[in-house]
Amino acid sequence: MPDAWLAAVPGVREHEPLSPHSWYGIGGRARYFVALEDDAGLAELIGRLAAERVPYLVIGAATNTLFAAEELPGLTIKLATSRLTIDGSQVTVSAGYLMPKLAADTARKGRTGLEFGAGVPGMVGGSVVGNAGAFGREVKDGLLSTEVIDPQGHVHTLSAAECHFAYRESSLKSDKPGWVVRSATFATGEDDPSRIRARIKEVQGHRRQTQPIEKRSLGSTFKNPPGDAAGRLIDACGLKGRRIGGAQISEKHANFIVNLGGASADDVLALMAEMRNRVFERFGIELEPEVRVIGRTAGQ
Ligand SMILES: Cc1cc2nc3c(=O)[nH]c(=O)nc-3n(C[C@H](O)[C@H](O)[C@H](O)COP(=O)(O)OP(=O)(O)OC[C@H]3O[C@@H](n4cnc5c(N)ncnc54)[C@H](O)[C@@H]3O)c2cc1C
């Protein structure tokens, strides 16, 4: 069997259900799956996968990812690494660290600049790739550099300029398929921990008021088109509350699709297609998905 070596990698499981690894609670299976708390052997593993032509997908908390394939081929790697080093103003954090935990842990040490992480429920790796942001601040505003692994298994340090960050975009997302973020280094400022915590509370309070965080979702379904808000356009089409199967366009925020329980990837994709079509018919604007659909094309 060509993948026999893969099945023998420590921790690798076969035919792993992905819904427990999905924030949305939706997913088929992964042919092979491994959760890594230690990334020491990751570069070697990536190099071997590429050499053996085995496809792979790296995920974090899957708060931005819809698993839409019945079975994902190759290896799905979930990074659950949790290193954090604070050296003066520089904060270096592994890809598998949760953004809200990063915000809380740096606040405790009197480091400011990462409070926005309290509004991003995913991990650092996915947040670097997608230049995640909340409440006026994005990854790009503080990132100094990121340590990445290319598909040949070589480790590089990319400066923020080399990441070509833009709104929910980076060169890692658009031009470097198969590159893996291992860690990120941020510049931070100094402030009183209680003041930083107060700002985190503000971020959390705003989220509670504006987003359906009590239900499972993937956050914003579509990017905001220039000068407008996807939620406003979808709401103007009268789509709030529209339901297909177990998926519903949130009554609270029209750019969120919530899983009421038992939603399938098909339900979510059908709602996404309807949102795109209705907004295009009414406004002539093509909405671009912010969520990553794995295994199928978004909007179909
Ligand atoms: C309720 C809710 C609110 C949200 N609010 C916001 C918000 O305010 N702002 C915002 O920007 N986002 C928001 N999101 C979306 C999401 O939290 C962010 O996009 C987050 O950065 C994704 O991190 P993740 O670990 O979940 O990534 P995943 O969903 O696991 O992965 C996202 C993509 O990145 C890739 N990837 C993941 N880790 C790595 C890695 N280490 N190396 C290379 N590629 C990798 C994956 O293959 C995938 O393509 C929200 C989501 C939810 C559910």
CATH classification code of 4-79: 3.30.43.10
C-alpha dihedral over 203, 209, 211, 215, to 10 degrees?
A: 110
What pLDDT was estimated at residue 4? 87
Q: How far apart are CA 300 and CA 266, in angstroms?
A: 9
What is the residue extent of each domain of the chain?
4-79, 84-210, 230-294
- Please give the distance, rounded to the nearest whole angstrom, from the Cα atom of residue 128 to the centre of ligand 1: 9
Residue nearest to atom 38 of ligand 1 (CA): 126
Closest ligand 1 atom to 131 CA: 11
Active site residues: 168, 220, 290
Res 213 pLDDT > 60: yes
pLDDT in tens, 4-17: 899 899 999 999 99
Query: Given this model, what pLDDT does residue 151 score?
Result: 95
Overall average pLDDT of the 217-228 stretch = 96
Residue 196 main-chain phi, psi, to 5 deg: -65, -40
The overall average pLDDT reported for the chain is 95
Question: Top-level CATH class of 230-294?
Answer: alpha beta
CATH topology of domain 84-210: 3.30.465
Q: How far apart are CA 58 and CA 78, in angstroms?
A: 6
pLDDT at 62 > cutoff 80: yes
Residues with Cβ < 8 Å from 48, sequence gap 6 or more? Answer: 5, 153
- The predicted-structure confidence for 80-123, as pLDDT tens digits, reads as follows 999 999 999 999 999 999 999 999 999 999 999 999 999 999 99
Distance (angstroms) between ligand 1 centre and the Cα of 125 equals 8
Mind giving me the DSSP string for the chain?
-TTHHHHTSTT-EEEEESGGG-TTS---EEEEEEEES--TTHHHHHHHHHHTT--EEEESS-SSEEE--SEEEEEEEEE----EEEETTEEEEETTSBHHHHHHHHHHTTEES-GGGGG--SBHHHHHHTT-EETTEEGGGTEEEEEEE-TTS-EEEEETGGGT-BTTB-HHHHT-TT-EEEEEEEE-EE--HHHHHHHHHHHHHHHHHHS-TTSB--S-SBPPPTTS-HHHHHHHTT-TT-EETTEEE-SS-TT-EEE-SS--HHHHHHHHHHHHHHHHHHH-----B-SEEESS-TT-
State the average pLDDT over residues 33-51. Answer: 96
Give the rounded percent of residues in the chain with a pLDDT score beyond 90. Answer: 96
Which class for 87: exposed (0-12), middle (13-18), buried (19 or more C-beta within 10 A)? exposed
Ligand 1 neighbours (beta carbon < 6 A): 23, 57-65, 79, 95, 119-123, 125-127, 129-130, 132-134, 180-181, 211, 213, 217-219, 292
Give DSSP secondary structure letters for 50-107. HHTT--EEEESS-SSEEE--SEEEEEEEEE----EEEETTEEEEETTSBHHHHHHHHH
Ligand 1 atom nearest to CA at 65: 29
Query: 256: pLDDT confidence band, cut at 50, 70 and 90?
Result: very high
| Cα-to-centroid distance, 150 and ligand 1 (Å) | 20
What's the whole-model pTM score?
Answer: 0.96
Q: At a CB cut-off of 8 Å and minimum separation 6, what does 16 contact? A: 29, 30, 32, 33, 76
Q: How far is the CA of 72 from the centre of ligand 1 (A)?
A: 19
Cα 168 to Cα 170: distance, rounded to the nearest angstrom: 7
Res. 300: pLDDT tops 50: no
The strand pairing partners of 294, in sequence order, are 67
